Amino acid sequence: MDPAVTYGSYLRVDDLLSLQRPRSEGPEHDEILFIVIHQVYELWFKEMLHEFDYVRRLFEADDSHRAQHTLKRILTILKVMVAQLDILETMTPLEFMSFRQRLEAASGFQSDQFRQLEFALGRKSRHAIARFPEGSRAHAALERRFAEPTLWDAFLRYLWREKYRVPESQLSRDVTAPIEASPDVQEILIDIYRTDAKNAGMCERLVDLDEGIQEWRYRHVKMVERTIGVKRGTGGSAGAAYLRTTVGAPLFPDLWEIRARL
Ligand code: HEM
């Protein structure tokens, strides 16, 4: 007979607690925090991807109520993810330097789940896939998401089924290409904001999401500036100077373009 399920066996607590393996001698006190924070992020990324897949399926099934409910859950997770940076900011530059060289070339650059999130939201690049070895889990996952419609594509197709005249060029656009502003889509969105409270609410959740991701990028770059200043990243980029180039670019440009006309 199988042993009774317990808290520990169900959650695999022994396995989980064996996964934090500092590389510094001692080890340095703050390295555990650094590892735990990153592992927690990876778990949240996993959960977010799980929820994004669900939202896309809900749009495909025209279940706007649950789609909006799930978007709210995603936004709540995102808020927690942003707030977690406060914890890492209690680590001073000297504390980080006590183990930083042990990271070698390891970097957030290599988080495939973060890239998957970007892909799901429309920021796709072949270059990002090429960083991961052929045949790896990460490479396969990114290839799959590269080919999949983005959340925005699923939303536009949902709007079309809601009887909005989304142009064919948008409905059949190359889903691997960047999401670009479309004056036709903007007309539809303005109409929605003026006359359709249900779908206007959905648009607002997508703006929350877009703003939330930008907020994470902004907070991450500020944390980087206060921790390593202008030093280069372990992943080989210019560090904060590179990260600043990623802040402020909207995921869903049409939802921002229309604001001045509402
Ligand atoms: C002391 C803390 C941290 C420092 C100093 C730091 C530094 C950096 C730097 C310099 C980069 C640019 C790439 C490179 O050259 O390495 C980067 C990228 C990145 N970091 Fe961090 N990071 C920290 C914490 C975190 C945490 C907690 C996460 C959560 C998962 C994270 C996720 C990422 C991601 C996803 C990227 C890629 C961003 C992009 O390309 O847009 N970082 N980080």
User: 3-state DSSP call for residue 192?
Assistant: helix
Contact 41, 84 (CB under 8 A): yes
Taking the centre of ligand 1 as the mean of its atom positions, its distance from the CA of residue 37, in whole angstroms, is: 12
- Which spans in the chain are helix H? 7-11, 13-17, 29-60, 64-83, 85-88, 93-97, 112-120, 126-130, 137-147, 151-161, 168-171, 183-195, 197-228, 240-246, 253-257
**pLDDT category, 59, cuts 50, 70, 90?**
very high
* For ligand 1, mutation pick of 39, 86, 107, 132 (most atoms within 8 Å of CB): 107
Taking the centre of ligand 1 as the mean of its atom positions, its distance from the CA of residue 223, in whole angstroms, is: 9
**Measuring from atom 3 of ligand 1, which residue has the nearest CA?**
224
**pLDDT category, 1, cuts 50, 70, 90?**
confident
pLDDT tens, residue by residue, 168-199: 999 999 999 999 999 999 999 999 999 999 99
Residue 239 has pLDDT above 90, yes or no: yes
pTM above 0.85, yes or no: yes
Which among 197, 188, 216 is positioned nearest to 78, based on CA atoms? 216
CA–CA gap between residue 259 and residue 262 (Å, rounded): 5
Q: What is the pLDDT of residue 149?
A: 97
SS (H, E, C) 211-228: HHHHHHHHHHHHHHHHHH
Taking the centre of ligand 1 as the mean of its atom positions, its distance from the CA of residue 220, in whole angstroms, is: 7
Which pair of tokens denotes residue 222? 């500020």
**Measuring from atom 17 of ligand 1, which residue has the nearest CA?**
108
Percent pLDDT > 90 in the chain is 99
**pLDDT category, 146, cuts 50, 70, 90?**
very high
**pLDDT category, 123, cuts 50, 70, 90?**
very high
Per-residue b or e along 79-106, where b marks 16 or more CB atoms closer than 10 Å to that residue's CB:
eebbebbeebeebeeebbebbbeeeeee
